[in-house]
Amino acid sequence: MSRGLTTAPESSVVALAMTGDDRAFHELVLRRQGKVRDLLRRLCRNHALADDLAQQAFLKAWKSLPSLREPEAFGGWLRSIALNVWREEARRGGVILEADDGRLDETPDPVSRHAGVEARMDLEEALNRLSAGERLCLVLSHAEGMSHGEIAAAAELPVGTVKSHIARGGEKIRRWLAIGEGDD
């Protein structure tokens, strides 16, 4: 039966997990853990914390699974749980999502030209320098492909704030990466 779960459509596995089948939920965790961890790692700036938050998100998902209305909505529903877990952690840490004075932070030290993995590390480093709100909105927009309205609903922010965070955060990253590559 477990082998059948690995090839079953996700909506079927979700429906089975909704009945309390822990093997089905385990299969969902296997299918989704990488994406949830990646999202939380981009938001947290701390891989160990992100892994802990991912575990919390899956635990909350397991407990809340009976409240899921449509098995097809599992991916978005799980992402919302992960974002809520991250927001709770951010609030405990005193991170304010809406606050940002709008100015560009100090410029990072120039670095040599990079390619491949090193370039991705530069982008990750740039993301880590953004405010929590800018990072959240950029990650949800670019990495998750969410619209401004979807981000506003998921992040509990006004659409105008989402647009500002994306524009301001994107400009900061472009500037930092251009300087890092010797273009400035």
pLDDT tens-digit readout, 74-89 = 999 999 999 999 988 8
The boundaries of the domain holding residue 74 are 2-92
Please state the pTM of the whole predicted model. 0.71
The predicted pLDDT at position 101 comes to 43
Query: 58 and 139: one domain?
Result: no
Q: Are residues 46 and 126 in the same domain?
A: no
* CATH code at position 56: 1.10.1740.10
Residue 154: what pLDDT? Answer: 86
148 and 82 co-located in one domain: no
Same-domain pairing of 122 and 88 = no
Q: Is residue 135 part of a domain?
A: yes
Instruction: Please give, one letter per residue, the 3-state secondary structure of the chain.
Output: CHHHHHHCCHHHHHHHHHCCCHHHHHHHHHHHHHHHHHHHHHHHCCHHHHHHHHHHHHHHHHHHHHHCCCHHHHHHHHHHHHHHHHHHHHHHCCCCCCCCCCCCCCCCCCCCCCCCHHHHHHHHHHHHHCCHHHHHHHHHHHHCCCCHHHHHHHHCCCHHHHHHHHHHHHHHHHHHHHHHCCCC
Residue where a domain terminates, one of 23, 58, 92 = 92
Residues 132 and 66 in one domain: no
Q: What's the confidence (pLDDT) of residue 81?
A: 95
User: Are residues 28 and 87 both part of a single domain?
Assistant: yes
